[in-house]
Amino acid sequence: MANDDNPRGLIPLDWPSTRVHAYRITTGGDVFIGQAVDAVAAGYISAITMTGLQPALGVVVGFTGPFATGLATADPFLDVSDITPPTGGEPSGDRYALVADDPQQQYLIQEDTGGTALTLADVWSNLDLVFRGPTGTVTNGNSDTGWANLELDASTIVQTSGAFAQVIRLHEAVNSDGTRNAVGDFAKWVVRISQHRLATTPLPNIAV
């Protein structure tokens, strides 16, 4: 009896009632659902490294665009080759990420394996996120499903606010074998973004 191993990044709780907005996204690397993004210059957003006090605007839940030709069918993930680099104005090839950007949003995420697992005593602690493919190799995501291969990195736990996500509680869920989600490898936790771009205390402006 073990927790299911199914890394899918940050999943907004209460979906589909989650607040979502569309943002233009730049080139710079493939982007997957469940991956965090932040604002960059000229009104664009970009994928980020989810470690330390890296600010984040929110989490990607889908893709669309370009708006100039109507809302296209959502892709499972965003390949950088699909994007026209910004050259000013509104490039016809712009793509949009649909982002859950509420600073109070809570997310479901799977814990990693191979080290000391989190316990209930670690609730309200802070951790970074790590990419891990299903076989243990590091890969950003699954190009067939579009989900990010992101997990909580239990080895990065700190009691202060010096990490990307704060643990709020153990998620109440049932595994595929009928057992309950429990502390240990691949446990599912509810977290929040520690340093949100739209929080009450404004973060520094983005350089243009």
Going from N- to C-terminal start, the domains of the chain cover 14-100, 104-193
More confident residue, 141 or 180: 180
Query: pTM, whole model, 2 decimals?
Result: 0.83
Reply yes or no on whether the pLDDT at 77 is more than 60: no
Tell me, what's the pLDDT at 205? 55
Mean pLDDT of the chain: 81
6-29 pLDDT, tens per residue?
Answer: 888 999 998 667 889 988 887 666
Tell me, what's the pLDDT at 126? 93
Round to whole Å and give the CA distance between 90 and 51. 32
> Which sign, positive or negative, has the C-alpha torsion 45, 191, 4, 129?
positive
Question: What integer is the mean pLDDT of 44-60?
Answer: 90
Question: What integer is the mean pLDDT of 80-97?
Answer: 55
Which tokens in the block code for residue 120?
């209930």
**Percent share of the chain, pLDDT over 90:** 43
185-200 pLDDT, tens per residue?
Answer: 999 999 999 999 998 6
Question: What integer is the mean pLDDT of 33-39?
Answer: 92
122-179 pLDDT, tens per residue?
Answer: 999 999 999 886 655 557 888 777 888 899 999 999 887 789 999 999 999 999 999 9
Tell me, what's the pLDDT at 137? 53
